[in-house]
Amino acid sequence: MAIDPLFSVAGKVALVTGGGSGIGAMIARGIVERGVRTYITGRNADRVDAAAAELRGQQGECFGLVADFETRGGVAALAADLSAREQRLDLLVNNAGTNAAGSLAEMEEADWDLVLGVNTKAPFFLIRELLPLLRAAASPEDPARVINVGSIGGLHVPNWEAHAYGASKAALHHLTRSLAKALGPDHITVNTVAPGPFPSGLTDVASEAVKRSVASHVPLGRPGQPEDAAGTVIFLASRAGAYVNGHVIPLDGGYIAAL
């Protein structure tokens, strides 16, 4: 059966940061299989190339780019690399992120700076660096899309100490709204998907603690699946989501609603 044009993303060009693993890989696979020319990033060239080759072997085009989001120079280098390969960017998924252990008493300043830098500052400056490509793809009928990957950790306070991570994601959620207002006149929408428990490098959904948390707090009674992450991004990137702008969408099986 042919894909409904309302939900088609075929022919678009996308960048998914941190797209070699976890939720980023779920999103990248979903859009590659639907005809999106996709670039994914990682810090290790061999690993990101291998991940891109695996996705490329499914159906569609996927390429790996090396990126270091701990420095402004790394962000600028990624933007320059992509700009040398493409003349437009229809979809930017800011998924790359990090975390640091540490209670209020134990958190080191360097760890705080790392988490805020990668999770909040890097997406802001990457969007700015890629504005020429996003503007080249944008039109009133089919805006360019920026989709940030936030977290329900930025919408509530969990039962463990995650001060830097929660602050970074809450800041990213607010940044989404301010950029939606700033970039709307350029026909660029900015939204955030805020996942709950999904299998990723930051969440071990197989652990007994997470299983208990899911059973107790997620009304649907299960962690997120790849189709859940990919489907939400595909909706936002398609014509069906073209008028959604400036929103934080919890992708959590009802976790936040049930608090």
Q: Could you tell me whether strands 188-195 and 91-94 are parallel, antiparallel, or unpaired per DSSP bridges?
A: unpaired
Q: Quick check: 189 and 145 in contact, CB under 8 A?
A: yes
- Catalytically annotated residue among 39, 165, 243, 255: 165
| Chain centroid, CA 136 distance in Å | 21
Residue type at 151 in one-letter notation: S
> Residue 190 phi/psi, 5° resolution?
-135, 120
Residues in CB range of 256: below 8 A, 6 or more apart:
152, 155, 156, 194, 196, 250
AA identity, residue 11 = G
Active site residue 39: no
Q: Which residues are catalytic?
A: 165
